[in-house]
């Protein structure tokens, strides 16, 4: 009788069990050592000096005496920098500004339930805001130059990126403040990144020129910075377990936490909408540039045509009415079938379907007519010319006269039509020759008198006048052209 025997080693099951337990212990040890390493790496409580941090924040809250004058001087410096469009000057003003103190005071008092400090912080915060806006308003009200520089306009349309800058900037600032041996470079960096002062200066500028859109946009940016720096302060001090000055019931803490969350969300909503609009415009501009690069940028003119990329205008309107205007110069006209194919390509881009594509082209000039006239003149005078040299001299003289005449003849009707197509806010255009002398020679100067539509901003008039002057000089091939 055959018997079946279990050939497995009777010790194998226990060995496998021991091996599994050992692997589990090794894995748990690895996890434990990793957790310990990360805890030591990311732990910020160990080097925190709670007493010194609290004293430093409280010391920066009051606005009186020296601090007030430092604030006023820094506001003046920032206003000058914004007016002159100087980034370096604005950065310098932010470094000497004491604006951060009351905001950190609000955050710390909310985190530790310190009602007295909260009252003082809010009072000094209000003083800070009023003095800052008033100082900036007085500067821009009485300063003769009030151009809308890019540094000013950059503070009028905040979006979600400004929220992130304020929140993480506040995070870094409070962590640096709480560290034993404060990291001064972090504090300076946050002062620059969060940019509390420029929005207040821009708000003063908006009030000075009665532009409420600028004023409200700048104040919204300042509110974003204030709320999220204070919120970051509350979170960091909670993580660092700063002791409560007064005990607060858990339900009351939850209620205040919900209120803070709701306020933060409400403040973020307009910023999110603005960011979405910026993103939409960015996508539109990207597709518009792709269309230009795939069409007119690669088009080969056969004769003397030329595409002027510096005169290209891309107008984005989220409500509709967006347009792309391409400007060409020279004698050669782009065939209609080519333009039709470009229209088809435009419609293949998802964001350009409703966009109007305009091709502005320079018409054919009368060069051929001029040369035909010279040829006819030569034939009519040929019988009177006795020698070859006389014929050459005659032709050279007549050609010089015609060349000089052609440079002075300006096709005003055609020029005015093209100018109107290129500049939407052009109301009327006049033209005349002006004779000018420097007492050594006399020049005939073509002068264009321009009237812009009412309501056009001074900055737009200045930019469009310069653009029109550059275009006319290039279009007429005459650097003496003047625009008034």
Same domain, 203 and 241: yes
CB 212 within 8 A of CB 193: no
Within-domain flag for 391:
yes
Within-domain flag for 282:
no
CB 480 within 8 A of CB 446: yes
- The DSSP bridge partners found for residue 359 are 326
Question: What is the H or E stretch that residue 426 is in?
Answer: strand 426-437
Same domain, 121 and 220: yes
Same domain, 394 and 419: no
Within-domain flag for 304:
no
CA 321 from chain centre, in angstroms, equals 22
- The DSSP bridge partners found for residue 328 are 307, 361
Within-domain flag for 444:
yes
Within-domain flag for 261:
no
Same domain, 388 and 463: no
Q: Which residues contact 208 (CB under 8 A, 6 or more apart)?
A: 136, 137, 139, 140, 141, 146
Taking only the tens place, the pLDDT of each residue in 305-364 is: 778 777 788 888 877 778 888 888 766 778 888 888 888 888 888 888 888 888 877 644
Same domain, 116 and 211: yes
Please count the structural domains in the chain: 3
Within-domain flag for 445:
yes
Within-domain flag for 238:
yes
Within-domain flag for 271:
no
CATH of the domain at 468: 3.30.300.20
Same domain, 390 and 473: no
Same domain, 141 and 174: yes
Same domain, 400 and 421: no
Same domain, 57 and 204: yes
Same domain, 401 and 440: no
Task: Give residue 451's domain range.
Answer: 411-484
Taking only the tens place, the pLDDT of each residue in 5-63 is: 444 455 455 666 666 666 667 667 777 777 777 766 767 777 777 888 888 888 888 87
Same domain, 380 and 461: no
CB 330 within 8 A of CB 304: yes
Domain boundary (406, 421, 456) is at 406
Structure-token pair, residue 182: 């404060």
Same domain, 237 and 382: no
Binned average pLDDT, 10 residues per bin, the chain of 484 residues: 48 60 70 72 74 84 85 87 82 80 87 85 90 91 77 73 82 79 60 74 88 87 86 86 72 71 78 80 88 84 73 81 81 80 87 85 49 52 57 65 55 79 82 74 77 81 84 80 82
């Amino acid at each position: 009788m055959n018997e079946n025997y279990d050939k497995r080693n009777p010790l194998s099951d226990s060995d496998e069990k021991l091996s599994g337990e050992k692997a589990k212990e090794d894995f748990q040890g690895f996890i434990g050592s990793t957790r310990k390493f990360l805890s030591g790496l990311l732990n910020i409580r160990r080097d925190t000096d709670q007493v010194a941090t609290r004293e430093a924040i409280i010391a920066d809250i009051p606005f009186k005496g020296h601090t007030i004058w430092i604030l006023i001087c820094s506001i003046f410096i920032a206003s000058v920098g914004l007016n002159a469009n100087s980034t370096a000057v604005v950065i310098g003003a932010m470094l000497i500004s004491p604006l951060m103190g009351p905001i950190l005071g609000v955050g710390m008092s909310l985190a530790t339930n310190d009602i007295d400090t909260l009252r003082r912080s809010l009072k000094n915060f209000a003083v800070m805001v009023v003095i800052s806006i008033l100082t900036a308003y007085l500067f821009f009200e009485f300063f003769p130059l009030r151009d809308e520089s890019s540094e000013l306009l950059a503070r009028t349309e905040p979006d979600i990126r400004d929220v992130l800058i304020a929140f993480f900037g506040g995070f870094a600032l409070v962590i640096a403040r709480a560290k034993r041996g404060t990291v001064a470079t972090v504090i300076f960096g946050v002062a620059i990144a969060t940019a509390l002062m420029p929005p207040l200066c821009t708000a003063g500028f908006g009030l000075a020129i009665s532009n409420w859109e600028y004023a409200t946009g700048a104040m919204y940016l300042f509110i974003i910075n204030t709320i999220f720096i204070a919120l970051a302060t509350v979170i960091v001090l909670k993580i660092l377990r700063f002791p409560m000055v007064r005990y607060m019931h858990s339900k009351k803490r939850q209620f205040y936490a919900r209120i803070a969350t709701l306020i933060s969300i409400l403040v973020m909503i307009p910023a999110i909408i603005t960011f979405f609009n910026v993103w939409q415009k960015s996508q539109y501009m990207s597709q518009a540039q792709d269309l230009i690069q795939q069409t007119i940028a690669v088009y080969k003119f056969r004769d003397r045509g030329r595409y002027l990329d510096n005169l290209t205008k891309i107008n984005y309107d989220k409500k509709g009415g967006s347009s792309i205007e391409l400007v060409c110069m020279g004698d050669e006209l782009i065939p209609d079938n080519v333009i039709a194919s470009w229209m088809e390509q435009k419609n293949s881009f998802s964001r350009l379907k409703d966009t109007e594509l305009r091709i502005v082209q320079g018409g054919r000039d009368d060069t051929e007519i001029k040369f035909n006239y010279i040829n006819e003149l030569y034939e009519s005078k040929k019988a009177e010319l006795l020698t070859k040299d006389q014929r050459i001299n005659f032709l050279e003289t007549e050609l010089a006269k015609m060349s000089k005449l052609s440079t002075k003849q300006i096709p005003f009707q055609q020029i005015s039509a093209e100018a109107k197509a290129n500049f939407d806010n052009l109301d009327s255009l006049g033209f005349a020759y002006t004779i000018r002398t420097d007492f050594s020679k006399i020049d005939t100067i073509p002068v264009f008198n321009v009237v812009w539509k009412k309501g056009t901003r001074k900055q737009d008039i200045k930019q469009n006048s310069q653009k029109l002057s550059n275009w006319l000089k290039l279009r007429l091939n005459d650097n003496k052209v003047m625009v008034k």
